[in-house]
Homo-oligomer: A and B are copies of this chain.
């Protein structure tokens, strides 16, 4: 039954079990696997690898699009299979191995990984493992629910293993638009001038002689594990909708706004969800991951078109959407993450970028990745591709975490992923700070007054007063800059004991 999914009949003989396919991967190799935000990941070959690693030395460099589902990162980390992991992850077990220094994690802007591979600035891919809906009669690979880095991995790899997933619908065919930039210095412009432009092929063009093995699978993607909108995320959405109403009123943008990007996760998803009850219409998205909110906006007739690199949906929404994907197909396109996140296209289209901050400081610098300076959470992902090059760069976060014991707005972030130059708007459930065209001293007052939780405002004002007394363009007191974080480390709360006891 799987043979109708392998159009190039000379490849029929390449079908093998996962264990046999995985034998192409040897100790020390660089392996590029499909998978972006839990969507379209290679599922059975990595598991066979982990199994083999219990019996022999087997450590690889694993590159993917972004985070994986199906417990793959967990299983590979537990099996001790990973020496190096590039460019993103979001698994708690792997995170522990990274923070313990057991796995070297190379945290990259998501648009950059294949640029570096293509120009041979990183070690080349030995084997690519790509989940596919089918193989075309020419040997082209049709990806499933994500493209991520799969196209360039397959094109650049010595060998390719294809996982044909019979549970991924053939209706996905035609959704993909595979465009690969030409090599520099003779590169042409990427010919995308609208989110809906199709400029490439509906499959990954590869030399079929490189396809070393084909494995048949039936495992579905992991569902998104996002929290539904709550009072705080709804308040964040409301503040943003109010802000955009003001921008429209001032004539800066029209009622279709500009193409939207929203980072992965519950808060960004909730913010987009909040646009359902907005006065905006004919919205477009030029984003990386398309979450539940994308399809809710389609169903509410708010969204005209969505371009992404993956579809990562909750269980119920996934069931509904994938059963009826044809309904959305003419309004959807999936692209390689190099293109979904490409600075050239982001700047040209004028993207409104909405990403989540782990913490932000009073001057508008944003930490997306590290707890207390040292501990990696997930990675910078695509936020840097978008924030630097967007028309408008918005960062959202709840004002506090851990029942108020952590303030997400601090005097100085302990790690900077997005410097103040790349942060236009900060929004918490408390309010919105519009930082455009302001100097750091002006930013500080806005961020404290509009975004910070009231429990922390006096502390912040005290810090700022001390800093202002010493002067500077961005006034700081170096010996006090991390005192909130140190207090948390010592007492379990950023609040002083007296305040916490209130």
CA distance A222 to B340 in the complex (A): 45
CB pair B187 A189 closer than 8 Å:
no
Query: What string of 1s and 0s marks CB contacts (under 8 Å) between A482-502 and chain B?
Result: 100110010000000000000
Closest to A112 in B: B421
In-complex Cβ contact of A473 among B99, B417, B467, B489 (8 A)? B99
CA distance A293 to B423 in the complex (A): 35
CB pair A259 B436 closer than 8 Å:
no
- B-facing residues in A351-381 (Cβ within 8 Å): 365, 370, 372-376, 380
CB pair B419 A416 closer than 8 Å:
yes
CB pair A365 B416 closer than 8 Å:
yes
Q: How many copies does the complex hold?
A: 2
Q: Is A173 an interface residue (CB 8 A)?
A: no
CB pair A439 B84 closer than 8 Å:
yes
CB pair A414 B476 closer than 8 Å:
yes
CA distance A277 to B502 in the complex (A): 70
In-complex Cβ contact of A187 among B122, B349, B414, B442 (8 A)? B349
In-complex Cβ contact of A251 among B120, B349, B416, B419 (8 A)? B120
Which residue of A119, A250, A373, A391 has the most chain B CB atoms within 10 A of its CB atom? A373
Question: Given known contacts A349-B185, A441-B104, is B344 in contact with A474 (CB within 8 Å)?
Answer: no
CB pair A119 B252 closer than 8 Å:
yes
CB pair B104 A373 closer than 8 Å:
no
Report, nearest first, the 7 A-B pairs whose CB atoms are least far apart: A374-B472, A184-B350, A376-B473, A189-B189, A416-B416, A104-B439, A373-B476
A-B contact pairs, 27 of them (CB 8 A): A100-B471, A101-B441, A101-B471, A107-B421, A119-B350, A120-B250, A121-B392, A121-B436, A123-B437, A184-B258, A184-B348, A184-B350, A187-B350, A189-B189, A344-B344, A373-B476, A373-B481, A374-B467, A374-B472, A374-B473, A374-B475, A376-B473, A384-B388, A414-B476, A416-B416, A478-B486, A479-B482
